[in-house]
Amino acid sequence: MNKRLILIIALLGFAGGIVASRLLVPDPALVVEPATATWIKTPRPVPEFELLDHHGQVFDKTRLTGDWSWLFFGFTHCPDVCPTTLSDLDVVARQLAEREDLEPMKVVFVSVDPERDTIERLAAYVPHFNSAFVGVTGSAAQIGQLTANLGVAHQRVALSETDDPDDYTFDHTAAVFLINPQGNLAGVFSSPHVPAQMVEDFLIISGQT
Amino acid sequence: MRADRRLISKYLLVIAASVFGLAACGGDEITLSDGWVRAAPPGAGMMAGYLTIENGLGHDVELVAVNSPDFGAVELHETIVTDGVASMRRVTDLVVATGDVWRFEPGGRHLMLMRPTGPLAVGDQVTVTLMFSGQPPLTVELPVLRAAPGSRQ
């Protein structure tokens, strides 16, 4: 009889211990993680930099504060990856704009081809995808300040056998970088990009679910 | 004039689609389908075209040339992402093995359409001719679209 009682008490204690441990220590499975994006949980400050936007206005670090900003690095002579990504970001921007409870966000296209991508060229190119998108350029050294810090690769490569000196392309990082309203890098969205997934991951990272 | 051209293009497309449809039933043709060109901002010197090539001939063929009256030059390119870095390279192996299906899609293989001869807007058609070894030229009309067909616009 006593033995049975001890056994019951022991089992209850054991079960209670399990319940208590579940209550006290959060189950890691309950912390929602982005499905595809990399979430930088200790956001990393973006350094000071100075570039120009497609209106000819200074675009520096202060322009990356206040709102969530999506940064993509490319060049306007890029036929596949850059238009595809800007088109995907337009879908993301419009889906997020449908949510009235969310803070406004901005999308910034930073050129890695300062020779060909003048302010005028960016002004003709970037708003085609979304009138709110901002195109940004500067000298190679100015662009380098930002790309080096974010780990963005960009390398000029000759394209074909033609003698046309304009016939070159860039190998460049295809990821989209998410900067939080404090101007810190909070997430990286690697390619291939799926707009619906980017929206979900953004909401998780920005804590706006 | 432009409207006429569009109308003619539409008829050509219907005829082409019928011919391809019949060919698909016969299973002894090269089938071109799902073609489109991404609309680019005015002044863009390069655009990308996408389509699917299916070799139902029963033997291998080589894609020897691609050209378009709407562009100065057309090349076959492929986007390759290695360690997060996208690079674009010319496709050099152009043999389409029998039974193979080549899908040209954003972020992968694409027709690089260089130096447009005139402005192209959403709704326009781009004429592209593909020459395969030992085959008569195949001409398709690719619609200019804002985003991939089927994607959320």
State the pLDDT confidence band at A161, using cuts at 50, 70 and 90. Answer: low
Contact A171 B86 (CB under 8 A): yes
Residue with tokens 């998410």: A178
State the pLDDT confidence band at B43, using cuts at 50, 70 and 90. Answer: confident
Express each pLDDT in A192-205 by its tens digit: 999 999 999 999 99
Q: 3-state SS string over chain B?
A: CHHHHHHHHHHHHHHHHHHHHHHHHHCCCEEEEEEEEECCCCCCCEEEEEEEEEECCCCCEEEEEEECCCEEEEEEEEEEEECCEEEEEECCCCEECCCCEEECCCCCEEEEEEEECCCCCCCCEEEEEEEECCCCCEEEEEEEECCCCCCCC
Q: Residues of A with CB below 8 A from B86's CB?
A: 81, 171-174, 191
Q: Which residue of A has its CA nearest to B46?
A: A79
Report ipTM (2 d.p.). 0.78
- CB-nearest to A174 from B46, B85, B112 is B85
Which of A80, A150, A156 should one mutate to test binding to chain B, selecting the residue with the greatest count of B CBs within 10 A? A80
Q: Residues of A with CB below 8 A from B113's CB?
A: 79
Between CA B48 and CA B77 the distance in angstroms is 9
pLDDT at position B16 is 58
Contact B77 A173 (CB under 8 A): no
For residue B3, pLDDT over 80 is answered with no
Which residues of B sit within 8 Å Cβ distance of A?
A: 38-48, 75, 77, 79, 81, 84-88, 90, 106-107, 110, 112-113, 146-147, 151-152
Query: At what angle are helices A195-205 and A81-97 packed, to 10 degrees?
Result: 60
- CB-nearest to B79 from A80, A121, A125 is A80
Give the residue, A87 or A26, on which the prediction is more confident. A87
- CB-nearest to B107 from A81, A169, A171 is A81
User: Given CB atoms, is A97 within the 8 Å cutoff of chain B?
Assistant: no
B121-139 residues labelled b (16+ CB within 10 A) or e (exposed)? eeebbbebebebeeeeebe
For residue A51, list its beta bridge partners: A59
Q: Which residue of A has its CA nearest to B75?
A: A160
The Cα-based distances of A184 to A20, A36, A64, B17, B78 in angstroms read: 38, 20, 9, 52, 34
Cβ atoms within 10 A of the Cβ of B84, count? Answer: 15
Contact A191 B45 (CB under 8 A): no
User: Given CB atoms, is A145 within the 8 Å cutoff of chain B?
Assistant: no
pLDDT at position A60 is 97
Contact A125 B90 (CB under 8 A): no
Between CA A161 and CA B130 the distance in angstroms is 21
Least confident residue range of A166-175, A191-200, B2-11, B34-43:
B2-11
Contact A128 B40 (CB under 8 A): yes
pLDDT at position B8 is 61
For residue B35, pLDDT over 80 is answered with yes
Cβ neighbours of residue A76 under 8 Å, at least 6 residues apart?
A82, A111, A113, A116, A117, A121, A122, A125, B41, B44
Alpha helices in chain A, H assignment, sequence order? 2-24, 81-97, 119-125, 140-150, 195-205
For residue A202, the Cα-to-chain-centroid distance in whole angstroms is 8
Q: How far is A79 from chain B (nearest CA, A)?
A: 5
Q: Residues of A with CB below 8 A from B115's CB?
A: none
pLDDT at position A13 is 66
Between CA B9 and CA B126 the distance in angstroms is 9
Q: Which residue of A has its CA nearest to B105?
A: A80
